[in-house]
Structure formats: structure tokens, C-alpha cells
Amino acid sequence: MKRPAIARGMWVGLGLLWLAAVGVGFALLTRHSLTPGATHEAPAQWPQAAHPPRAEGRPTLVMLAHPRCPCTRASLGELAVVMEHARGQLDARVLFLRPEGTSGDWTQGPLWRAAAGIPGVRVLADEGGTQARLFGAVTSGHSLLYDAQGRLRFSGGLTVARGHRGDNPGRDAVEALLREAGGSGGTSQHAVYGCALEEPPEVRATNTP
């Protein structure tokens, strides 16, 4: 009579352990999803050394991206929405990191093709991360909006969490600034949710073909 009771107790214990493991895993994933990446101060004026130069007479948005960051696909999805709503009134470009010693294939993967498929977006390689450093970007998906006079109006991400698409303060801020039609207000900011642009050496050794 005791053996069935012991067996039931064992299964109940295993079930509780499984539920606890699932709960801990979910909490860790949620924490990772909502933890923003690092940010540095972006230049208040469009850098003269930036390549290519900004568009004359219209706002320019530049996104610095890591070609192998899974979170960045959501950022590109939000950029596609911004471009659709901008109706041709915005010059946008996505600069994908290409570390020294890597091939074009390393950079021109699925994310590159996704960005290139957004109407009105130019996609370029950021050789050695020089452009990212110029704009002060250290996290993939960091987007900067400069107005027609070259003044920084927005700095941050276009998603509300890592890899999460949908309405969010970053995209709303960019679209509100575009509707200003030449306004000269301050600069809006939003957290950036993405992978680090500069990979640690041990990760680089694993990802580089």
C-alpha cells in the first residue's frame, strides 16, 4: 500500500520541479527581452565624415545593425512601417557591420536581404564598424533621425523589447517628428534592444567563417 503513495509523491515532486524550471526559464527570457543594450551619446549634428552623406533638404534616418543579430529582424520590421507611413519623405539607410577579415557573405545574409527589400532603404556595409563608432552606436538596431538641417532629432531603437514587433514609443517618436514638417524641437530618445555591435573575441572566433 505504501509503494503507490511513494510513487505518487515522487511524480508530484517531479512535476513541481518541472514547473519551477519552466517558471525560472520564462523569467530569464523575459528579463533578457526587456533589458536594453548599451548606448553612447550620438552626435548632435550629422557627422561630416559619415558615408554616404545625408540627403539634402529632407530628414535622414540611419540604422546601425549587426548582420547576425536575431533581434534586429524586428527592428527592420518597424523600419518598414516607418517607411510606409513616411510616403517617400524620408531618406533611410541601414549600415551592417562588416568586421575586418570577414567576407561579404558574412554580412550579406538574411537580414541584409530583408533590409534591402524595404522600399526606399539603402543598405550598405559598415567596414570595420567605423560608421557605428562615428554615430556612437554600440547596439544593433540603434537608429538616428536627423532633420533636413542635419540636427539630431531621435536616437534609440524602434522596438519595445528584443525581437518584439508592434506599437512602441521609439517608432511613435520618429513618426511624430516626421509629421512636424521642419520643427526645431529637442531630441527624443528611446532604449535600444539588440545585440552588441562589437563582438567579444571568443564570439567572433565562433561566428567568423
Tell me what percent of the residues of the chain surpass a pLDDT of 90.
59
Give the per-residue pLDDT at 21. 76
Burial pattern 173-208, b for ≥16 Cβ within 10 A else e, equals bbeebbeeeeeeeebbbbbbbbbebebeeeeeeeee
Q: Write the pLDDT tens digit of every residue in 106-131.
A: 999 999 999 999 999 999 999 999 99
Among the ranges given (133-142, 148-157, 173-182), the one the predictor scored with the smallest mean pLDDT = 173-182
DSSP letters for 27-69: HHHHHHHH-PPP--PPPSB--TT-SSPPPTTS-EEEEEE-TT-
Give the span between the Cα atoms of 18 and 152, in whole angstroms. 50
Give the span between the Cα atoms of 107 and 17, in whole angstroms. 43
Instruction: Choose among 207, 188, 190: nearest CA to 198.
Output: 207
Give the per-residue pLDDT at 174. 94
Give the per-residue pLDDT at 205. 46
Give the per-residue pLDDT at 3. 62
Q: Write the pLDDT tens digit of every residue in 31-54.
A: 677 788 888 899 999 999 998 898
Confidence at 208, pLDDT banded by 50, 70, 90: very low
Confidence at 207, pLDDT banded by 50, 70, 90: very low
User: The pTM is what?
Assistant: 0.82
